[in-house]
Structure 1
Amino acid sequence: MVVFVIFYPIQYGLAKLTAHYRAKTFTTTDRRIKIISEVISYIKLIKMYAWEKNFARKLDDTRRRELGYIRYTSYFQSLGLSIGPTAPVISAITAFLAHVTTGYNLTSSQGFPVLAVFLRCVTPLLCYLQSVRNVCKGYASLRSVKSVLLMEEVNVYISKPIDKSTAVSIAGGTFLWDSVLDTGTTPSNKKKHLTKKQEKAEAEEKAHLKPEDVERNIALVDINFFAPKGKLVGICGAVGSGKSALLYAILSQLRSSGGKLSREGNCAYVSQEAWITNDTLRQNILFGEPFEPQRYYKTLYNCALNTDIHILPGGDQTEIGERGVNLSGGQKQRVALARAMYSNKDIFVLDDPFSALDTEVATHIFRYCILDILGPRTVILVSNQIQYLSKCSLI
């Protein structure tokens, strides 16, 4: 029995090591799959800048690390499985030697029953190894679930504006990105480029925030915004000035740390990078809405998609690949615009929808798509193009 008492901690240690390296294997595998996805998604850019060797080296290093973890996992797992059957044999030999060396005779009537009892312990020993390994894997899964369940609850409460002529209103709003980042320390290579005025401004911003908010990535601080109903509101600014963040705040996609957001009606959103599902072109536009021919074909004309549909082999029933691989950038942007227009929402939030369009198509869409839907609806347009901003009611 002393041998079994010694073997159980050994099995426990081997099971813990197996679970440890298995967890490292899963993490490294996820990292490798992410790199492969990046390479496939941006293969054109990688080829253009001749980054193939760098990505290949990065992928090889990750794969080599993954294989190392798999090798260690297999070693410890095999060792644990091989120790299980040998434990009863070693226990029997030890028991028989102890019995004989103490001066007793070993008979068959004594040896075979003892050997049978020891052999019965093989299955519990192997089950113990498997159970410890499963408990370790289950604990890792529960820890991941626990981290999600213990996240701070986000209570999104959007009040309606007091003024019935207002579509969207933000008063003194401070908004944070959901990603938790340590903004209290600035990297040295960025910090040396900050002026004293910028450092002072950041310090003043953090002084108005709660201590826990400083740990998050600040998106907008003390923002005031107003968009009346039935108007075209333009938003312009430099790159990184917070234009997209303001749209996310309007859509309640940023965590609010202060201020008040009021909104009247539902929103349709078009992002800078068009989002396309793996479905037909028509289903990408309908997006769960019932098919109404007059409304649908008017949307196609307003978004300048008629010519493209005639070119596609199956018309609007053409299967669109993942992320719109068989569509150009301009076509994907127009499909996203058509989806928003067909949804017939009260507020349209457009994040630079003309960036991937040529001038002629952009002018057509601005005239027949954006200006056409005005009336009771509100359009919030992000753009730096003067010809469109000049037509806005507010900028």
Structure 2
Amino acid sequence: MSVDSFNVMLLFSMGHYIWAVPFKLILLLILLYKQLGYSALVGAATIYVLSPLQYWVCTKLSKLQKEALTISDKRIKHTSELLQGIKLLKLHGWEKVYANMVKEIRAEELKLLRKDAILVAINTFITQGSAILLTLVTFSVYSAIEGRPLTPAKVFSGLALF
């Protein structure tokens, strides 16, 4: 029940982004186009180049997190069994065998968590770096290809819109 109410709350608090974000993007692109010309369109196109890469990273991240969750559940199950049957394990001398099994599962889990951390770092780099790359591409195209001088007025007004 609390998950449903949370989802309804998210709908009302975030639902306006469905129309607001495309409107804002179009408006900003128009303003950038008026300010910087075709270079604004080239800069915006870099987002479309980066989107498939970010989609791929997020897909891999999702699969990896599901796999890590499965392995984590397996480790927790074995640890619980170990703790519940500790008397029996000690009686037969199986504690090292069982502990090694849990350690192997944990090592596998840690390997996946390292991959997960790398993918999160790549995703964060793409997300944070895309704004810088977009700005760099736009201003580079503006000054190099269009051959116009890059004045402080153009730079600061363009940065305000990015």
TM over 0.5: yes
Give 2:114's aligned amino acid: R
State the partner residue of 1:36.
79
How do 1:271-350 and structure 2 match up within 5 A?
Answer: none
Question: CA-to-partner distance for each residue in 1:41-88, whole Å, 9 max, x for gaps?
Answer: 211221122112211111010000111111111111122112222111
Q: Quick check: 1:77 aligned with 2:157?
A: no
Corresponding residue SS for 2:99: helix
Match of 1:16 among 51, 59, 82: 59
Distance 2:134 2:110 in 1: 36
Give matches, 1:1-395, under 5 Å.
1-102=44-145, 103-118=147-162
Q: What is the identity, as a one-letter code, of the residue corresponding to 1:10?
A: L
Distance in 2 (alpha carbons) for counterparts of 1:112 and 1:11: 29
**Which structure has the larger Rg over C-alpha atoms?**
1
Q: Which has the higher strand share?
A: 1
Give per-residue Cα distances to partners, 1:214-259, cap 9 Å, x unaligned: xxxxxxxxxxxxxxxxxxxxxxxxxxxxxxxxxxxxxxxxxxxxxx
Structure 1's consecutive aligned runs of 4 or more residues displaced over 3 angstroms after TM superposition are: none
C-alpha distance in structure 2 between counterparts of 1:87 and 1:6, whole Å:
10
Alignment gaps of 5+ in structure 1: 119-395
Shift of 1:115: 2.0
Structure 2 spans left out of the alignment, 5+ residues: 1-43
Q: CA deviation at 1:27?
A: 0.5
TM-score, reference length from structure 1? 0.29
Please state whether the residue corresponding to 1:55 is helix, strand or coil.
Answer: helix
Which residue type is aligned with residue 36 of structure 1?
A: T
Q: State the match for 2:4 in structure 1.
A: none
When the two structures are aligned, how many residues end up with a matched partner? 118
Distance in 2 (alpha carbons) for counterparts of 1:45 and 1:75: 41
With structure 2 as the length reference, what TM-score do the two structures score?
0.67
Q: Return the alpha-carbon distance in structure 2 between the equivalents of residues 36 and 78 of structure 1.
A: 31
Determine what percentage of the aligned residue pairs are the same residue.
26
In the alignment, the residues of structure 1 paired with residue 102 and residue 161 of structure 2 have an alpha-carbon distance, to the nearest angstrom, of 52
